[in-house]
Amino acid sequence: MQTVALEKAQVSLADLLKQVAGGEEFTITQNGEPKAKLSAAISHKHRHAQAGSLPGTIWLAPDFDAPLEDFNEYMK
């Protein structure tokens, strides 16, 4: 892991990001003390759901639509 002073990081941020995309990591220092770590972010690509992609994983009871006994007095 390379160390870069804050002033240099501010001036060359675009170049640092290109290097980070290539797998490099940097520690950014201010007054000689480490303040931040610059590394690649994990990409979470969201897949869209497809009909039929999870067969058998969802189950509904046969009486799913039946009225609940607890609400009989409200249904009258």
Distances (CA, A) of 56 to 22, 52, 53, 60, 65: 42, 9, 10, 11, 20
Domain boundaries of the chain, sorted by first residue: 2-38
Asked if the model's pLDDT at residue 76 lies above 80, the reply is: no
Question: Which CATH number applies to 2-38?
Answer: 3.40.1620
* Contact present, 14 and 33 (Cβ < 8 Å): no
Name the amino acid, one letter, at 19: Q
Report if pTM > 0.85: no
| pLDDT tens readout for residues 21-38 | 999 999 999 999 999 999
